Each structure stands twice: as C-alpha cells, then as structure tokens.
C-alpha cells in the first residue's frame, strides 16, 4: 500500500504537470523541471517500482506456503513475515542508492519529446545496473509460476471439499483473495511490458505519447486497486483476511457475531411466545 501510494504521488507531481505544460504553447519549448527535481522524482520512482515488485514476490511466496502447507506456528510465522518485510524494505532502499551511484536520472529528449532514463555508470556498476534491470523480469516470471501453482492447487482443493461446506467456503474466499493479488500483479507486469515494447519497436512506427499515457494509466490503477479491493471485499473475505493478520481479533469478531445471533434468536423466541398468548 505504501509503495503503490508513493507511485501514485510520483505520477501526480511529475507526469501530470509534465503533460499539462507540454500541451501549453508557452512552456512547450522550455525545460519542464529542474535537474534536482528530476533526480528526486527518478529515485522515488525507482524506490516505489522495486518496492511494489519485491512485495509482489513476497506476497506470492507467502500465499504459496500458506495455501500449500498448513502450519500451526503462529509466532514463528509472524517473525518470518516481519523479517521478510524488513528484508524487502532494505532491498527497496539499497536499489535507489545503486542507481544514485550510477548517476541515473530522468533526461528530456527534444527529438522524442518525452523523458527517458539516463545513466553514467562506471564499468563495474554498469554490470550491476544491468542485472537490476533484468531482475524485474525474473521476479515477474517467479510470481507467475507461484500464482499458477496456487491457482491449480486451490482449484483442485475446492473440488475435493465440495462435500464439506465450511472447507469449500474458506477455499472460495482464499480463491477470491488470490484473484485480487493476481490483478495487482498483472497491472504491474503490464506497466513493465509497456516500457519493454520500446526496445523492440522502431520509434517511427509507434506513438511515444500514447505508450506513455498507457503506462501512466496502468500505474494509477496499481495505486487504486488496493483500496478498491478492500471496499469490494465480502464478509467472508474480510474474515479470512482478519484471521490471517490478527488471530486474536478474529476470535473476538466471531464471539461477538455469535452473541449477536443469540440475542436475535432470543428476541425472536420472545416474540413467538407473546404472539401465542
């Protein structure tokens, strides 16, 4: 949620003003932003992009082990999740530092009429920079394989548990949560692919502005998908999410729901008794 929000902020404070100034005849021929501002926005964008990427991998790995292997060690699971999140945050912070050492930032091209990434890296760091660029594609492949395995497992599990209504209901809720995670990942993968297209298609046969608009819309959808998913969640999905995040709160919610149902039943029985008299 933090990284997707940061990505949307980058879109609003950089991309949107850029297109607004580009459409104005007065500011069309001038430099749109200062070098320091372009440098800051580039590093924030890298931080947000790799944060979304690494947390997508972390969520996929977590979903895979939760679904495939049912374990009861809640304390060890919490520590594992905490250390994993800490590792992801550390990696997301280190990568912008590497881009900083490579002197990477946004540069405006008068020929293409758009921004592109420019780096002036030493020979040793250029190899690391190239590995980081391919890392995003490797992570996407890993996430696709994990989600494919989870989807096939849950589909088979739901078919086996059709006789058990409780297990079938939980499996259906897990499948819905999985689909929401897949939607977020697919939007991010589409954003990466829209940039990858530029390296294979000549500039004369594609509109750079249209591709940029498409990528920006996808990035805004990535930032908006989590609030939409939370608002659209059904009661079953919220109960599963609460149970995963806070087991103690889940128990209190269940107890309150049971007590509320008992009150309703007692009120209904009293109404029946009074009506019989």
- Residue 250: the pLDDT is 45
Domain residues of the chain, as ranges? 2-245
60 close to 181: Cβ distance less than 8 angstroms: yes
Give the DSSP H or E segment for 118: strand 114-118
Q: Can you state the angle between helices 208-232 and 2-10, rounded to 10 degrees?
A: 140
Q: What is the mean pLDDT of residues 33-43?
A: 76
Burial 143-164 (b: 16+ CB within 10 A, else e): beebbeebeeebeebbeebeee
Per-residue tokens: 119: 């780096």
| Range among 105-114, 147-156, 243-252 rated most confident | 147-156
Q: What is the mean pLDDT of residues 176-204?
A: 64
- Residue 231: the pLDDT is 52
Per cent of the chain over pLDDT 70 is 41
178 close to 62: Cβ distance less than 8 angstroms: no
Which tops the pLDDT comparison, 193 or 172? 193
- Residue 134: the pLDDT is 82
| For residue 64, pLDDT beyond 70 | yes
Measured in whole angstroms, the distance separating CA 257 from the mean position of its chain's CA atoms is: 32
90 close to 60: Cβ distance less than 8 angstroms: no
- CATH 1.20.1070.10 describes domain 2-245: yes
103 close to 38: Cβ distance less than 8 angstroms: no
Per-residue tokens: 10: 């980058």
224 — pLDDT class (breaks 50, 70, 90)? low
Per-residue tokens: 74: 């809640």
| For residue 200, pLDDT beyond 80 | no
Distances (CA, A) of 209 to 165, 206, 247: 52, 9, 49
Distances (CA, A) of 264 to 37, 258, 270: 61, 10, 10
Tens digit of each residue's pLDDT (9 = 90 or more) over 7-25: 767 766 776 666 666 555 5
d(CA 69, CA 86): 23
Q: Which of 163, 184, 216 is nearest to 59 (CA)?
A: 184
3 close to 45: Cβ distance less than 8 angstroms: no
d(CA 47, CA 8): 13
């Amino acid at each position: 949620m933090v990284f997707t929000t940061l990505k949307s902020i980058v879109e609003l404070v950089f991309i949107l003003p850029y297109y607004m100034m580009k459409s104005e005849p007065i500011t069309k021929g001038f430099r749109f932003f200062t070098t320091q501002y372009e440098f800051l926005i580039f590093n924030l964008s890298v931080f947000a992009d790799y944060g979304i990427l690494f947390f997508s991998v972390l969520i996929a790995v977590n979903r895979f082990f939760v679904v495939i292997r049912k374990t009861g060690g809640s304390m060890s699971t919490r520590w594992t999740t905490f250390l994993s999140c800490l590792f992801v945050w550390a990696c997301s912070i280190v990568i912008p530092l590497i881009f900083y050492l490579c002197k990477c930032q946004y540069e405006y091209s008068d020929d293409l009429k758009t921004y592109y990434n420019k780096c002036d890296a030493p020979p040793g760091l250029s190899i690391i920079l190239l590995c980081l660029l391919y890392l995003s594609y490797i992570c996407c492949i890993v996430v696709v394989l994990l989600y494919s395995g989870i989807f096939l497992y849950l589909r088979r599990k739901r078919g086996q548990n059709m006789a058990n209504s409780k297990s079938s209901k939980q499996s259906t809720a897990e499948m819905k949560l999985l689909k929401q995670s897949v939607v977020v990942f697919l939007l991010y993968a589409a954003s990466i692919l829209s940039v990858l297209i530029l390296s294979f298609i000549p500039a004369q046969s594609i509109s750079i502005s249209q591709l940029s608009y498409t990528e920006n819309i996808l990035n805004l959808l990535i930032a908006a998908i989590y609030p939409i998913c939370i608002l659209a969640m059904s009661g079953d999905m919220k109960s599963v999410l609460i149970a995963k995040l806070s087991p103690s709160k889940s128990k209190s919610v269940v107890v309150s729901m049971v007590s509320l149902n008992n009150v309703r039943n007692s009120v209904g029985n009293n109404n029946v008794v009074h009506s019989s008299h």
